[in-house]
């Protein structure tokens, strides 16, 4: 048995790598920029959206609590008890009766009492509760608007990470081209040295350039892997998921917007501006609610039930009425709460003023950044065109035997570096465009 068990265990250990290799991995994802944004905003997307959704649920629960003040408070009770009363303690010990020889008993009982009762209480007019309910409703709207703010932040983050992944792909393309050029140069110089047409320092220099190009490719591959991990994390997906990005770094058309127009759009569209307005409304209603607590509030009540020594002997008893609560003095607690809510209201108003200035700064800065990035793209495109013309000219001269290999290599490297600068400029322009959309509050258009 031990021998059989040992053979089975050895077989399982040997088969483990094969079984593991047969385990299916995550399905690959093919994503455009819009697909990535929509995936991040979906139910299985970024966790920040789920967290904000719970905040909305909490705000809605607080509003339901405030609404409870408009509903009747109903309680029921059933009491079955056995009593023995001390009549002297109730003031009946000294009762004089006209009957000669009759003394009032000192105690009564024991006897059973069965009491089944319904208690109802209803506030008929409570202005303070109405204000508190309205404030809770404003808080719900604020939480929903904050949810839009979180969605905008997630959209901007995913878009920037997606662009970073595209840039990493172009970096690999440039690094691979540079390595291929370095390889061909090293091979050519090595062959020429063997033929006695090149010096040792030329070969050493070519070998160093080749090592530098290889290191650059390693760095580009690392950056590519890092950017993809960031994107998968932002999308809340398995980090082993293969990604295929269909987007590209291009200079797309965008309307020229003046800073003043962009600021006007931002003040009306940005979720944080709308959320701050809701917070001010909630603070104002809370302040009004505390002031309303000074007003009289009528309340109706009823207490209906049956009482008796047994169920059969029970009779209906009740009391009902109307009470008017008139606040007079509460030790200045209400005044202190009112001063606190007034201070909170002023804080929210000051935050709105501060936020408006911040929005204006962010929008104007983003507009300038877009204009600067556009100029950089145009210059980089011209550099690529010139570098390509230089390479073609040198290759023609080399074919005629009047240009050296080093000149051709330098022209190829110059073209690759120009293409790299153009890719970096396109990345900067696309990033600036996303920041402008985020500043204007129109970033949600990426998901449309």
Residue range 188-227, pLDDT digits in tens: 778 877 777 666 787 888 889 889 989 999 999 999 999 9
Helix, strand and coil content of the chain, in percent to the nearest 5, comes to: 65, 15, 20
Alpha helix (H) residue ranges in 108-258: 127-194, 200-234
Q: Are strands 107-123 and 73-86 parallel, antiparallel or unpaired?
A: antiparallel
- Dist. CA 83–CA 428, nearest whole Å: 87
**pLDDT beyond 70 at 330:** yes
> The pTM is what?
0.74
CA angle 171, 174, 176 (to 5 degrees): 105
CA 426 – CA 304 distance, rounded (Å): 79
- The mean-pLDDT minimum among 101-105, 268-272, 285-289 falls in 101-105
pLDDT tens by residue, 4-24: 445 544 554 454 444 444 556
Structure tokens at 359: 């929005």
Q: Which residues contact 329 (CB under 8 A, 6 or more apart)?
A: none
| Rounded Cα–Cα distance for residues 35 and 237 (Å) | 14
According to the per-residue pLDDT averaged within each range, which of 23-32, 80-89, 210-219, 400-409 is highest? 210-219
What is the Cα–Cα distance from 63 to 81, expressed in whole angstroms?
41
Q: Please give the structure tokens belonging to residue 10.
A: 């050895």
User: Of 66-80, 100-114, 123-137, 316-330, which gets the smallest average pLDDT?
Assistant: 100-114
Mean pLDDT across 249-258: 74
DSSP 249-272: ----------HHHHHHHHHHH-HH
Q: Pick 139 or 95 by higher pLDDT.
A: 139
The confidence band for 1, taking pLDDT boundaries of 50, 70 and 90, is very low
Q: Which residues fall within 8 angstroms of residue 350, CB to CB, at 6 or more apart?
A: none
Q: What mean pLDDT is predicted for residues 309-334?
A: 87
> So what's the pLDDT on residue 47?
83
What's the pLDDT band for 289 if we cut at 50, 70, 90?
confident
> Among 11-20, 120-129, 207-216, 397-406, whose mean pLDDT is lowest?
11-20
- Rounded CA-CA distance 114/82 in Å is 9
The per-residue pLDDT for 105 is 75
pLDDT score at 215: 94
Q: Across the strands, what pairs with 86?
A: 107
pLDDT tens track for 154-192 = 999 999 999 999 999 999 988 998 898 888 888 877 887
What's the first-to-final CA gap in the chain, in angstroms?
67
d(CA 72, CA 205): 91
Tell me the average pLDDT across 236-260. 84
* Mean pLDDT along residues 228-241: 92
d(CA 218, CA 227): 14
pLDDT value for 164:
93
List Cβ neighbours of 141 (8 Å cut-off, separation of 6 or more). Answer: 278, 281
Nearest alpha-carbon partner for 411 in 175, 178, 173: 178
Q: Collect all residues with Cβ–Cβ distance below 8 Å to 58 and sequence separation of at least 6.
A: 143
Highest mean pLDDT range out of 79-88, 203-212, 232-241? Answer: 232-241
- Domains with residue ranges and CATH for the chain: 33-84+107-447 (1.20.1600.10)
Query: Mean pLDDT across the chain, nearest whole number?
Result: 85
Pairing of strands 29-31, 243-245: parallel
Whether residue 60 is predicted with pLDDT greater than 50 in this model: the reply is yes
More confident residue, 377 or 402: 377
Confidence of residue 407 (pLDDT cuts 50, 70, 90): confident
Q: For position 22, what pLDDT does the model report?
A: 54
With vertex at residue 196, the alpha carbon angle to CA 191 and CA 201, rounded to the nearest 5 degrees, is 75
pLDDT at 102: 65
């Amino acid at each position: 048995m031990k021998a059989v068990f040992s053979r089975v265990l050895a077989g399982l250990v040997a088969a483990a790598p094969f079984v593991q290799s047969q385990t299916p991995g995550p399905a690959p994802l093919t994503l455009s920029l819009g697909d990535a944004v929509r995936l991040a905003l979906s139910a299985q997307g970024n966790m920040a959206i789920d967290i904000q959704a719970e905040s909305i649920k909490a705000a809605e629960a607080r509003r339901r609590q405030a609404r409870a003040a408009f509903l009747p408070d109903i309680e029921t009770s059933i009491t079955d008890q056995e009593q023995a009363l001390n009549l002297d303690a109730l003031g009946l010990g000294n009762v004089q009766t006209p009957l000669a020889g009759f003394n009032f008993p000192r105690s009564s009982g024991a006897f059973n009492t069965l009491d089944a009762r319904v208690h109802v209480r209803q506030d008929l007019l409570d202005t303070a509760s109405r204000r508190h309910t309205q404030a809770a409703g404003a808080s719900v709207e604020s939480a929903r608007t904050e949810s839009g703010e979180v969605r905008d932040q997630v959209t901007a983050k995913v878009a920037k990470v997606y662009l970073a992944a595209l840039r990493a792909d172009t970096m690999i393309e440039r690094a691979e081209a540079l390595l291929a050029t370095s390889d061909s140069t090293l091979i050519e110089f090595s062959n020429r040295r063997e033929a006695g047409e090149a010096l040792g320092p030329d070969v050493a220099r070519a070998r160093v350039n080749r090592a530098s190009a290889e290191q650059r490719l390693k760095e580009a591959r690392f950056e590519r892997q890092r950017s993809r991990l960031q994107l998968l994390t932002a999308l809340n997906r398995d980090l082993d998921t293969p990604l295929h990005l269909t987007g590209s770094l291009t200079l797309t058309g965008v309307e020229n917007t003046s800073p003043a127009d962009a600021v006007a759009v931002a003040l009306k569209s940005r979720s944080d501006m709308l959320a701050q307005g809701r917070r001010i409304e909630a603070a104002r209603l809370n302040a009004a609610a505390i002031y309303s607590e000074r007003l009289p509030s009528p309340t109706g009540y009823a207490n209906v039930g049956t009482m008796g020594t047994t169920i059969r002997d029970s009779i209906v008893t009740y009391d009902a009425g109307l009470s008017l609560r008139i606040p007079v003095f509460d030790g200045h607690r209400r005044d202190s709460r009112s001063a606190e809510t007034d201070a909170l209201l002023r804080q929210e108003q000051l935050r709105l003023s501060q936020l408006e200035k911040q929005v204006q700064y962010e929008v104007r800065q983003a507009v300038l950044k877009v204009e600067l990035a556009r100029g950089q793209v145009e210059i980089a495109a011209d550099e690529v065109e010139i570098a390509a013309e230089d390479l073609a000219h040198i290759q023609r001269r080399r074919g005629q035997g009047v240009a050296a290999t080093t000149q051709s290599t330098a022209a190829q490297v110059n073209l690759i570096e120009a293409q790299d600068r153009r890719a970096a400029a396109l990345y900067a322009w696309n990033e600036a465009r996303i920041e402008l959309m985020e500043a204007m509050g129109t970033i949600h258009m990426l998901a449309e």
